[in-house]
Structure 1
Amino acid sequence: MPLYESVMQEKPPIVLDIGNAYTKLGFAAEAHPRKIIPTELVVTKTGETKQLFDYASTEELYDQLVDFLQIIFFKHLLVSPKERKFVIVENIFGQTIIRETLARVLFLHFDVSSVLFMPAHLIALSTLAVPTGVVVDIGYTETTVMPVYSGVQIMSAFKDHSYGSSAVHAEIKRQLLATGVKESLLTSSVLEDIKIRTCFVTTFERAQGLASDDESKKPVPPPSVDYGICDSDAVISVPGSLRESVYEIMFEQNNERDSLPHLILRAILECTLDVRRALVESIFVIGGGAMVMGLQSRLKQELQQLLANDSYYAERFHGELQFKFYQSIGKQNFTAWLGGALCGATDLIQTRSLTKEAYLRHEHVPDWSNLGDNRQAG
């Protein structure tokens, strides 16, 4: 019997991608998550929401993870986690305390049978069935760049920066406050909805005009739009200049060379010369922030311009290079989860998972690259 069939005859593994803003949850071998929910809890006493990873002690984090996972299992997935296999999609540079506490909650409180931790960048690339690429993950709190070559993450070339979706929300809020909008109207959900419904990444040519000090070169802004707030009579006028400019924080030019195009080029340059061409032709942009209209075409233009006009890069990249981008097979905001779902339907779930027996011997999660203690005896 093929392994896929034998795995699927058991209870299918549960796949979780717990992000800073949203959590994707579902089962292995499925094409999309069952649910995408905010990574937050409702405080019983006050009724207010609290971010899952806002904690003062390990004990508090443990309790919050227990409460959050109970909601996932018994409200959204409607399954018992006992003796289930799990795939956890994680940031490879995430906090160790979160990883260890999550494992302790799963094994000791929920009595799961095994947990397979998979690095998000590597598992996202597996959805394309290709071994090489530069994975650019535009998340909520940060943007990360990880080159992968022949299935191996090039850790020394990893880059990150703080211009994630939260930075875009802050820029929207700053510009709207400057127009006289009341701060009380600008909740996080309103800011996110304005971003999704009205904002876009402008073209390279228009961006050059926006950055110019010559007023005659500035382009005519797009139309403003009215945004009505649910359960309220308030209407916010979103200026066209805001709609077009908020994503420019990712492309700002400065001496630090830390805009998104620079981050990608610097990551590639920190890889050996023989792999650079393959990486230039294999860029994969994922994450919720990657879904904005116009991002990929603008990013390609910026990269080509830097390669052609910036002497620093021209001297280090040899030959005619064309940046090429992979297209995601699903929505970019759950690409990493989808990789975990595919992984959970292969023999990796059997051979590379941390079993309950192995965990109980040491109550410690081995490093993802050293799984010697993970394998079941025999």
Structure 2
Amino acid sequence: MLQLNYIRENLPAAIAGLEKKHFKDASRVVNQAIDLDNQRKDIQSRLDSTLAQANGLAREIGGLMKSGQKEEAEKLKAQTAELKELSKELEAALKKAEETLQEVMVTLPNLPHASVPEGRTPEENEETEKGGTVPVLGEGALPHWELIKKYDIIDFDLGNKVTGAGFPFYKGKGAKIQRALINFFLNEADKAGYLEVQPPVVINAASGFGTGQLPDKEGQMYHATADDLYLIPTAEVPITNMYRDVILNENDLPVKHAGYTPCFRREAGSWGAHVRGLNRLHQFDKVEIVQITTPENSYAALEEMLGHVRGLLEKLSLPYRILRLCGGDMSFTSALTFDFEVFSAAQERWLEVSSVSNFETYQANRLKLRYKVDGKSQLLHTLNGSALALPRILAAILENNQTPEGIIVPEVLRPYCGFDIIN
């Protein structure tokens, strides 16, 4: 959540940042928030004054009673009763003002970093880097949704029978290469200094609010209504919420965690050939990396995380590119996001496999996640990234490494899965 004091002090820049993210009626909503905060402050001031008068009269009444001036004391008691009634009204008005202000503030997305390019659509994202070699496939090369049938390693029909579309079964070597990828990603994160955690895959509403998934404007989260719990869209949510309402010591920073979880997304409104097979699922596996650090170190941490994801793709010998997302294609909570895409040779297109983002203080303000500096509490910066999401990685591995003899397993994965070819 944005800090209102920052908006007040940087009003033109704040409005311009919201407009870069294509937030509708930015100027009107920001000024509404400022007006509501002014009303809140006025009510708070009147409440404080009323309570101070009531406390003063209470002391005065006590003195009168001690000196035997009961009649004068009774007159003041009537005034005290009126002040108490007024204070109740002001307390109710203050609560209402605070709730209304909060409702407006949570509609404001994070402000984009200065380096975020203008633009509204994915086509306007900025390519910053490209690596690896795109393989040249032989005649008759198949997309992954045909390969998985040929080698009987993933079953979408069975998943549809048991659950529904977008919940596949992985079988045999398909299941083993999934497990190999997870273990490889976790081991690489461990080498990079990330402490592994295995978090819950359901969260409460407070956790969803803390990292910005709630309110769920897009309706993408699965909600277990009986218990008011949500299936996580990413391990970022429970891992970052480990530090909700926490004040860290500076010598505890940076916090670095990695975690594997299944992830759940309704993907409402997704259809068409571009989401076929593993390209878009309702349940998928992912290893997530999370950092919490000081504001002055967060962009160095972002570069470190980008290097980590780049290294994974290079070790898997997958051709990749990195995109700096434009204002219109960024998430609600992000200040700066880089997407990694791998090239799928059989589909002849790029597939997103990771987003690495710096949220600056946006999540920390919602989480009340702080650290002490010279005895004062200050908000920290939070970052996270996919390292990596499995479905499209697996799709690219299957397609890019297909041969007439079978699918060659990347060398780095062979010690993890125990075979070097799927045939």
Q: State TM-score, norm by structure 1.
A: 0.27
Higher strand share: 2
